Amino acid sequence: MRLTVSHAFFSYDKTGEPLLSDISFDLQSGEKLAIMGQNGAGKTTLLRCLCGFLKWDKGTATIDGTDISSQSSEKLFKVLSYVPQKRVLPPDISVYDMILMGRAGNIGVFSLPGKADREAADKVIDRMGLGAIAGKSCMTLSGGQYQMVLIARAIVNDPKVMILDEPEANLDYQNQLLVLETIDRLSKDGITCIFNTHFPGNAVRWADKALLIAMDGSYVYDDIKNVITEENMRRFYGVDAVIGTIKGPAGEYTDIIPIQRSKS
Amino acid sequence: MAEKIKTYVKERPGIVSKIVLIVFPFAVLLIGLSVGRIGIGLNDVFAAIGRLFSGQEAAGMNDVVIRSMRLPRLLLAALAGAGLSVSGAIFQGLFSNPLATPDTLGVASGSGFGAVLAMLLGFNMTGIQLLAVAFGIIAVMLTALFGKAAPEGRINMVLAGIMVGSLFSALISLVKFTADTESQLPAITYWLLGGMDSAGYGTLLLGAPPIIICLIFFFLIRYRTNLLPLHEDEARSMGVNIKRLRIVCIIGSTMITASCVSMCGQVGWVGLIVPHFCRMLFGSNNVKLIPASISIGAGFMMLVDTLARTISPKEIPISVLTAIIGAPFFILMLRKRGASTFG
């Protein structure tokens, strides 16, 4: 699988400066891309363009050579899947039904889920280890558990690319790790994962590549180590930060600490 | 694999509940046919029904009472109960708001205005229905438009609905004000009180088909309607055309409401009480919720109507009874769900 975005532009105000300008990147199976930038820089917009919810003004995004925007959503979302930002109040339906809902596109308008759909949901529940909560209502879950359910729903059709909108936002340490470890595991199974995040520390630890967008539409895209630099933190976030390595029991870990807002 | 599914999901309703759901409305129907100013024993009820279905002439007083009074009335109650409950369940999904009902969204008032306007203009039953549907859709559109002004504002949706509802109530008053006091006003006022007593086979013949067609439609697409509360992007990422689904569901549930309103006036609260009661019993999956709402809605309404005409010598307007049950239930819902629901 190969996902290619080439020279893509997007703006909400078609007469003004584009929000996303000349974006190009290229991902292989199993790569993890973190999309970063300040609030309003266009992270979510980029994800929505990738899913075909918004149309590029110029440029293309292709999966294995097929243009995303030319595909019907029925076809596209068999290859690509989308994990929305979790909402404040999850619906009052069971985890099992929520995961099964990922198959809705395969189920006819006048039909009920069939054997194949139930088996697919079962397989995902096993794969994600959600058996213990499958019968519970989504309303009773913790934020991390609900995020896992949304991820499970997204992989029920065996997608090649998974796009996640701030998957670890509003979660405590343990639940953040639960979600990030899951993304890591799925990428090792060959699913390309694209997620946006407000935590450069999480990106540097869990992503292979990063795309950092500035408010003026410019961006850098490279291997994660080359993107998360003290200079880029100043340029893209207006923050003086230090980046260092910490020795742990199983090796060295890179982390980033924001010190202060840049003076200039 | 099949065994595993059983461990993951508890099947609700089970076989016993399913039988109860099927039997309940028919049991209430029999009670309704039997009870009243003239008591008719169950044996006689069965005999009368037998004669009716075998195409025999009415034999005696009991047959006349059942055929021309109680049966059409109960059928109307069953249709209105099932219809308003299902449209309530659908509206709650559409607006992802547990308090959305034909009443709180202003649809019932809008339809009421359409119907009253048609009466003022001297339209026949078909015209009344068409205008009721048209103004019902206008009302729900206005509510959606005003409520959307604040994103994710669920309380705003209900506030907008109340506003639109009172706007149309004011317009109804205006129509009454302009109506001819000799001929039109009494008819409009009487109709506005709501009730099943206007039921005749003529009314049913016109009002029932839209309700039945929409109920069958919602029953068939009940799995798909589970997607209604999802965020637009979320639903699209399932490979489903959510906009089309939403439009079809708005039209369908408004048609049900408008048809009910044009036949039996504004019977409030049913669209709130019944779907929530069913949710408590069977969960929120529409695969179960829609059939349960049809059954319990039909049975509940026939029961309330039977009460309305039997508990006091003078018939109590049915909307009074549903409000007496509905208002405390609404407050209970508010307390139970807490403020977070209205985020």
Q: Quick one: average pLDDT of A183-203?
A: 96
- Specify whether A170 is located in the same domain as A260: no
Residue B336 burial by Cβ neighbours in a 10 Å radius (0-12, 13-18, 19+) = exposed
Model confidence at B336: pLDDT above 80: no
B4–A122 CB contact, under 8 Å: yes
Q: Considering the domain boundaries, does residue A233 fall inside one?
A: no
Task: Show residues of chain B in contact with A75, CB under 8 Å.
Answer: 239
For A52-104, the three-class secondary structure string (H helix, E strand, C coil) is CCCCCCEEEEEECCEEHHHCCHHHHHHHEEEECCCCCCCCCCEHHHHHHHHHH
B174–chain A nearest CA distance, Å: 41
- Specify whether A64 is located in the same domain as A165: yes
Q: Quick one: average pLDDT of A205-234?
A: 95
At A4-16, the pLDDT tens digits run 999 999 999 888 8
Q: Could you tell me the pLDDT band of residue B249, with boundaries at 50, 70 and 90?
A: very high
B237–chain A nearest CA distance, Å: 6
At A59-99, the pLDDT tens digits run 999 999 999 988 888 889 999 999 998 766 788 889 999 99
**pLDDT score, position B174:** 95
Q: Considering the domain boundaries, does residue A234 fall inside one?
A: no
**pLDDT score, position B151:** 56
> Out of A88, A109, A135, whose CB is closest to B8?
A135
CB distance B258 to B126 below 8 Å:
no
**pLDDT score, position A245:** 93
- Determine the Cα–Cα distance for residues B56 and B75; give it in Å rounded to an integer: 20
Per the prediction, chain A carries an average pLDDT of 93
Per the prediction, chain B carries an average pLDDT of 87
Residue B243 CB coordination number (10 Å): 11
Overall number of domains in chain A: 2
At B42-65, the pLDDT tens digits run 999 999 999 999 988 888 888 999
Nearest residue in A to B228, CA atom: A91
- Specify whether A63 is located in the same domain as A100: yes
Q: Could you tell me the pLDDT band of residue B266, with boundaries at 50, 70 and 90?
A: confident
CB distance B267 to B59 below 8 Å:
no
Parent domain of A122: 2-228
B283–A87 CB contact, under 8 Å: no
A97–B279 CB contact, under 8 Å: no
- Determine the Cα–Cα distance for residues B247 and B85; give it in Å rounded to an integer: 19
- CATH (domain of A70): 3.40.50.300
Could you give the C-alpha distances from B301 to A95, A125, B46, B49, in angstroms and in order?
33, 41, 22, 21
Q: Quick one: average pLDDT of B165-187?
A: 91
- Determine the Cα–Cα distance for residues A32 and A163; give it in Å rounded to an integer: 10
At A146-184, the pLDDT tens digits run 999 999 999 999 999 999 999 999 889 998 999 999 999
Show the tokens assigned to B36: 């009243």
pLDDT > 70: percent of chain B: 92
Q: Could you tell me the pLDDT band of residue B12, with boundaries at 50, 70 and 90?
A: low
- Determine the Cα–Cα distance for residues A207 and B283; give it in Å rounded to an integer: 39
- Specify whether A101 is located in the same domain as A62: yes
Ranges B64-78, B196-210, B235-249: which has the least confidence: B196-210
Q: Can you list the domains of chain B with their CATH numbers?
A: 79-301+318-337 (1.10.3470.10)
- Specify whether A16 is located in the same domain as A44: yes
Largest CA distance in chain B: 72
**pLDDT score, position B41:** 92
Closest CA to B299 of B149, B66, B82: B82
Model confidence at B153: pLDDT above 90: no
- Specify whether A254 is located in the same domain as A221: no
Q: Considering the domain boundaries, does residue A102 fall inside one?
A: yes
